Structure 1
Amino acid sequence: MAKIINSNEFVEKVENTKGVVVVDFFATWCGPCKMLGPVFEGVSNEMVDKAEFFKVDIDKSSRIAQKYGIAAVPTMIIFKDGVPVENLAGFMPRENISRKVKAHL
């Protein structure tokens, strides 16, 4: 299950982590974010031993959202060894997200 993390946890769990981490930047008021939620959860359950999955609420962690230039939600960023390697904007089907993550494993 993808845990919602705050700005304090972000450094430890994303920026200082080796391997692949996928972060879903979302907002509670965002319709497409609500559609993406179960899809993101499905991918995180499918890839539980291969990558870490987290969610960041842009309204509660605006500093992190600004740091990574989140202009629209939902936006997913794939990090490898703490460095952003790919941005995925908007709703995406499960297969597309899975394929994009696997490309960085």
Structure 2
Amino acid sequence: MAIVHSTDQTFTNDTNEGLVLADFWAPWCGPCKMIAPVLEELDGDMGDKVKIVKVDVDENQETAGKFGVMSIPTLIVLKDGEVVDKVVGFQPKEALSELLAKHV
């Protein structure tokens, strides 16, 4: 499954079904750039088990505010549209795999 770039207008639709990892990021954020390839790998490894959605906080402040995103990267796990987990800051692939495995 390809990584989805979500907006304030599409976020609810993009995250209302199944297990979703939402990455709140910005282009100028160093740790956000570091986690991008990790998310690509996770997407390849987990396939249809999880959908990865990226939200640029500079362009989508409404959604970032709704979820109380204060630092980036913030990664929020949603299951059928409901928040079930949240981590802030760079996370290695193993940590993200474990985080998602709890909710598969």
Normalising by the smaller structure, the TM-score range is over 0.9
Q: Work out the CA distance in 2 between the residues paired with 1:45 and 1:53.
A: 11
Unaligned runs of 5+ in 2: none
What is the TM-score with the length of structure 1 in the denominator? Answer: 0.94
Asked if residue 80 in structure 1 is aligned to residue 79 in structure 2, the reply is: yes
- Percent identity reads 39
Alpha-carbon offset, residue 8 of structure 1 = 1.1
Question: What's the counterpart of residue 26 of structure 2?
Answer: 27
Asked if residue 96 in structure 1 is aligned to residue 95 in structure 2, the reply is: yes
Alpha-carbon offset, residue 21 of structure 1 = 0.6
Question: What's the counterpart of residue 51 of structure 1?
Answer: 50
Q: Work out the CA distance in 1 between the residues paired with 2:48 and 2:65.
A: 30
Alpha-carbon offset, residue 7 of structure 1 = 1.1
Letter in 1 for 2:30: G
Number of equivalences: 103
Q: Secondary structure at the match of 2:48?
A: coil
Q: Secondary structure at the match of 1:7?
A: coil
What is the TM-score with the length of structure 2 in the denominator? Answer: 0.95
Q: Deviations over 1:27-46 (max 9, x none)?
A: 11000000011001111111
Letter in 1 for 2:27: T
Question: What's the counterpart of residue 4 of structure 1?
Answer: 5
Q: Work out the CA distance in 1 between the residues paired with 2:4 and 2:99.
A: 20
Q: Work out the CA distance in 2 between the residues paired with 1:67 and 1:32.
A: 22
Structure 1's consecutive aligned runs of 4 or more residues displaced over 6 angstroms after TM superposition are: none
